[in-house]
Amino acid sequence: MTMKKLLIATAVAVAAFGVQAKDIVDTAVAAGNFKTLAAALKAADLESTLKGKGPFTVFAPTDDAFAKIPKADLDALLKDKAKLKAVLTYHVVSGKVMSTDLKAGTVKTVQGSDVMISTMGGAMVNDAKVVAADVAADNGVIHSIDTVLMPK
Whether 11 is covered by a domain: the verdict is: no
In-domain check, residue 81: yes
Q: What type of residue sits at position 59?
A: F
Cα–Cα distance between 53 and 39 in angstroms, integer? 21
Is 139 domain-assigned? yes
pTM of the model: 0.84
Question: What H or E segment, with its residue span, contains residue 135?
Answer: strand 128-137
- CATH number of the domain to which 85 belongs: 2.30.180.10
Q: Count of domains in the chain?
A: 1
User: What is the tens place of the pLDDT at every residue in 78-127?
Assistant: 999 999 999 999 999 999 999 999 999 999 999 999 999 999 888 999 99
Q: Which domain holds residue 90?
A: 22-145
H/E element, 30: helix 24-31
62 lies in a domain?
yes
Indicate the pLDDT class of residue 20, thresholds 50, 70 and 90: low
Inside any domain, residue 15:
no
Could you tell me if residue 126 is inside a domain?
yes
Is 8 a member of any domain? no
The pairing of beta strand 140-145 with beta strand 56-61: parallel
